[in-house]
Amino acid sequence: MHGFVAQIAEARPIERLNRLARAGWRTDAKFNCATIGMASCQPVTRSDTEAQLIGLAWLANRDEICDGLGLDTKASHLQDFDLIARLWERDGSAFVHQVNGGFSLLVYQPETGVVDCFRDPFGMFPLYYTQQAEHLTCGSDLRAVLHLANAPLTADLTRLADYIVGEEIDRSRTAFAEIRRVPAAHILRVDGQNAPELQAYWSLPDPDEISVEAAVSGFKAPLQLACSACVGGAPDGVGAMLSGGLDSSSVAGLAADQRAQAGAAKLPTLSFTYPGKPYDESPYITAADAQFYTDPEHIAVTAAPDLRALPGIVEEQMDLFLAYGLQKSRAIYHVGRDRGLRVLLDGHGGDEVVSHGYGRLIELAAARQWGALLRESRGVSQVYGSSTLQLFLLLFGKFARFKPKGLPRRAIMRLARRLHQKEQRGEPEFDSKTLLSDDLRAWLSLEETPRYDCTEKNGDTPAELRQQERFEHRRNLKAPILEHAFEVLFRAAGAACILPLYPFFDQRVVRFCLSVPAAAKLQGGRTRWVLREGLGDVLPALIRKRRTKADFGDEFRDAVQRFAQMTPIGHSLQAGARPIDLLRPEIVAELEHRVGELQHSSADVLRAYWRLTVLRDWLDACTRWTKLQAAGKLM
């Protein structure tokens, strides 16, 4: 695993540091800190001010930084953390504007008592903090922060309610009331005189839109640079996930090319296969294996995940997590470790960074380009096997020149709703908000201050509708769920001593993709068209032309139903400093009944049940962790 924790306090938490040392952490009693894995701690000096730099760093623009510091770009004796230290000594807190990569860092200046904490722009590395009366504790490892701070393990009821509903809204809360996270792209400053202050230092770029032709011809270069940075000169111990989808295939193909050009060994790839299942991706994986310079390993999955393993995952994560496929991700990390890998490249985020281009449908409807809308709707509906007519009618009824309450519009919208209900196979939708108890709703003041279903929406003027895809693209990249997902994957990979890297979240790739016009994202009924065309010389034709995504809904249904038969949730869950009921028992009973009766996949029902299962296991774990804490033991 990789992590750090530090405490700024007059008293020395010697015994708690010793417990971390016995668990394998490197401790420094002088600065009340502990590190493990790639994390480091070293003194730095700027303008005769001495400070201590502690944390984690991985640089995607290492050569650029070396050049700016006047160093040989092949200065392999310097770790990325060392380069960050030199940047801070030269630029102070402004170093964050020079760095492209992941970092979670703390700078402590003993003379002034000032503490600055820095988290990278997308939140690839976690960063938590808690301020008690006598100390400030910060770190990238949630368990270590809780332990060193000896903070109460009281549940944050707002975070629990969000989890029950299935929404990630707050970028600062954790499941523990006393622990906060530093949001991505923020600096936390604590000076001992004022309340901790969070300040954003970065926001998504807003580049000018380029032409479709420039988008296609320019797409490969930034992603190639990003993959090259991750491979890092083709060292041993670097591999890639390969699912057969567009994102993982793009990353694996470019990284493998880099290895081939360097004359290095083939790139190890790890792939899941599902023999005999409709969601088996073996044909696409095999096509990639045949074309790429890779050393593939196929991992056959013959049964749905066993949810009885969730308590162990809760123990590993410690925070609540919205990652329904996490059990399989964990498995692939451990296979990678057993193969001697230390770094795994992941295509995670390609959907958000490149964008499917769905906003273009609204742009076409608003412009009343009905032929183009029908063509693109047909392609979009094929991705998920949904109804082309339903999608088209929904937009046609909204944007055609009908009277708002006239008969034609009402008839069209009624038909669209019926087609949607047919797709649901008669299964009514489940609203997870109905699970919240009256006490919890009162705590949240939901009647006075609506919290859910408040997604940021674009305006409806002609000028705004013409930019709908750009708006949706940026909104998706700013969603809190992204940085929460990074934290979950970081902990899961760290448990297997793996560092996950995400080339699509290289700032060069993000900036370029934000300049791509809507017509290059969705064209000819193909989503992410610019990726398919821009990597035409990298991707096998079978992958480049594929229109569908694997649907694991039936696998998830089988896992949840099998577990539900063995282990009822229990209708009463309580939490809080003064415990209150979290759920409405009659709605939980209805949910359990619906899970048992499902004949087809119903994502909202299954996911709601899964979340309650995780929540129950987390509350049980909190009781156990509290006892360990009271006994003076490491949780």
In the annotated binding site, the residues are 80
DSSP for residue 95: G
Residue 33's Cα: distance from chain center in Å?
Answer: 28
How would you list the strands of the sheet with 499-501, edge to edge?
294-300, 267-273, 238-241, 343-345, 499-501
Asked whether the beta carbons of 515 and 207 are under 8 A apart, the reply is yes
- What's the per-residue H, E or C state across 155-212? ECHHHHHHHHHCCCCCCCECCECCCEECCCCEEEEECCCCCCEEEECCCCCCCCCCCH
Which residues are known binding-site members for L-glutamine? 80
Three-state SS across 550-582? CCCHHHHHHHHHHHHHHCCCCCCCEECCCCEEC
Three-state secondary structure call for residue 623: helix
Q: What share of the chain is helix, strand, coil (3-state, %, to 5)?
A: 45, 15, 35
Does residue 489 sit in helix, strand or coil? helix
3-state DSSP assignment of residue 534: helix
CA separation for the pair 560, 610 (Å, rounded)? 7
The helix (run of H) or strand (run of E) holding residue 478 is none
Closest CA to 361 of 373, 348, 353, 349: 373
Rounded-to-integer distance, Cα 109 and Cα 513, Å? 39
CB count, 10 Å around CB of 155? 22
For tokens 């000032």, the residue is: 114
134: its two tokens: 């006598």
CB neighbour list of residue 356: distance below 8 Å, 6 or more residues apart: 380, 383, 521, 522, 527, 528
First and final CA of the chain: distance in angstroms? 16
